[in-house]
Amino acid sequence: MTADYKPEWNDPKNPELCSSVVRKGEELEVQASLKKNSRFAKRSALEPSVNQLFDGVLNGNRGLLARAITLIESNAEQHFQKAQELLRRLLPFSGHSIRIGITGVPGAGKSTFIEAFGMHLCSLGLKVAVLAIDPSSSISGGSILGDKTRMEQLSRDPRAFIRPSPSAGKLGGVHRKTRETMLVCEAAGFDVILIETVGVGQSEVIIRDMVDFFMLLVLTGAGDELQGMKKGIMELADAIIVHKADGDNLPKAEKTRHEYNRILHFLQPATKGWVTKAHTCSSYTKEGISEVWNVIKTFEAKGKASGIFDERRKVQSREWLHALIADQLHYHFYHHPDIKNLLPKLENEVIAGEKTVASAVEILFEKFLS
Ligand SMILES: Nc1nc2c(ncn2[C@@H]2O[C@H](COP(=O)(O)OP(=O)(O)O)[C@@H](O)[C@H]2O)c(=O)[nH]1
Ligand SMILES: [Mg+2]
């Protein structure tokens, strides 16, 4: 223990003037606790509490909404519980928007369309949230930047909120995060959620499972396009939009629309009771943009009257539950210490033909479940 001492600001000629003494140990403790507190203060400034986020999202505070989404997107384990707590509380306030998925090959004009379409919705007084999932963005790194400049007008509109894609992580992939982000945006009072996804892989199927209305943007030059177009993706769509129907392209767009309608006639409709049709539109001239919104409004009204709209959302919730279970199983399986040890060895044995795949799986699951 260090001895107590009179502080140096005490008058040396008149030491009894000041009665206080400084006790060394305590001084250090006070400093340490001050330090701790200031670090705590800094951290809490960086990371708002669930209460703050909850209030902020419900009040439509953009900054706190963005932070709530960042929390959901976080791959850090300590954020998972906090994010789930926030979602649990926000869930009752979600569900009141119309959820629209937009897909198409790169270059189809999805981002430009969302800007034009989003501006139209804002002009009607609607609040629009845009979530962009772009599997290529993690590789090229450039496309988000491209989209930002493309959606420049929309991003400046106070009624709009644009959020680029989250990256996949260990606590659930893109679909969990996108879905949860969508719910948070709904709780924040957005009327329309637009989700952009590149139609080149699995992502369009995942997005189809979380939206009410799904549209496919296509280009003219249908000859080749239609040949290469997978029937599967056309069967997911509630509308096919022949985009860039402007200038010299206009007659071709009209022709393409007819061709799509002819083919759609032979396909399964994506939504019971709804006939998927092809439409033309241009994000440059804005021709056809308001018609697309009318189609969606009709779709919503019809689906709500028949019950199909709500039925789909129920099915989607159930599917979501199963998707999350699969996510969790996947995560826990591959992070199990025994599995991590055993897997490389079994992989080699399977590759060398010393073990069958099925028997390797059996061994792994015996370990995992024991
Ligand atoms: N002529 C025409 N070009 C368009 C239209 N919309 C987008 N584009 C162009 O198509 C290209 C791709 O657009 P983008 O929105 O990035 O497509 P995305 O990859 O599907 O998001 C860009 O060069 C746009 O300028 C349109 O309505 N008409
Ligand atoms: Mg884009």
Surrounding ion ligand 2 within 5 Å at CB are 110-111
Residue 211 has which token pair?
A: 């939206």
- Distance between CA atoms of 55 and 237, rounded to whole angstroms? 37
Mutate to test the pocket of ligand 1, among 105, 112, 200 (most ligand atoms within 8 A of CB): 112
- Distance between CA atoms of 47 and 63, rounded to whole angstroms? 12
Residue 61 has which token pair?
A: 């505070």
Report CA torsion sign: 229, 231, 237, 239. positive
CA of 195 to the centre of ligand 2 (A): 11
CA of 106 to the centre of ligand 2 (A): 7
The neighbouring-strand residues paired with 160 are: 128
The reply to whether domains 47-93 and 96-307 share a CATH topology is: no
Task: Please state which CATH number belongs to domain 47-93.
Answer: 1.20.5.170
Residue 234 has which token pair?
A: 């056309």
- Secondary structure (DSSP) of 279-331: EE--TTT-TTHHHHHHHHHHHHHHHHHHTHHHHHHHHHHHHHHHHHHHHHHHH
Amino acid at 170: K
> Residue with the nearest Cα to atom 9 of ligand 1?
109
Low-confidence spans in the chain with pLDDT less than 50 = 1-5, 7-8, 15, 17-19, 21-35, 40-41, 44, 136-145, 169-171
Over its C-alpha atoms, the chain yields an Rg (Å, rounded) of 28
* C-beta separation of 312 from 212 below 8 A: yes
Question: Tens digit of pLDDT for each residue in 110-166?
Answer: 999 999 999 999 999 999 999 987 554 444 444 444 555 568 889 889 999 998 765
CA of 216 to the centre of ligand 1 (A): 14
Q: Which atom of ligand 1 is nearest to the CA of 243?
A: 27
The predicted structure's pLDDT at residue 135: 53
Rounded to whole angstroms, what are the CA distances from 310 to 98, 153, 206, 304?
12, 33, 19, 7
- Distance between CA atoms of 215 and 104, rounded to whole angstroms? 8
- Eight-state DSSP code of residue 136: T
- Phi first, then psi: give them for residue 286, nearest 5 degrees: 70, 5
The predicted structure's pLDDT at residue 27: 40
The predicted structure's pLDDT at residue 203: 75
Residue 355 has which token pair?
A: 């073990």
- Phi first, then psi: give them for residue 215, nearest 5 degrees: -125, 150
Domain residue spans of the chain = 1-46, 47-93, 96-307, 318-369
Give the DSSP H/E element, type plus range, for residue 33.
helix 24-46
pTM for the whole thing?
Answer: 0.80
The predicted structure's pLDDT at residue 274: 96
Residue 279 has which token pair?
A: 């439409």
Contacts of 45 (CB under 8 A, 6+ apart): none
The predicted structure's pLDDT at residue 140: 42
Question: In the structure, which protein residues have their CB atom closer than 6 angstroms to any atom of ligand 1?
Answer: 104, 106-112, 150, 243-244, 246, 282-284
User: Which ligand is closest in space to the CA of residue 287?
Assistant: 1
Task: Please state which CATH number belongs to domain 96-307.
Answer: 3.40.50.300
Q: Which atom of ligand 1 is nearest to the CA of 108?
A: 20
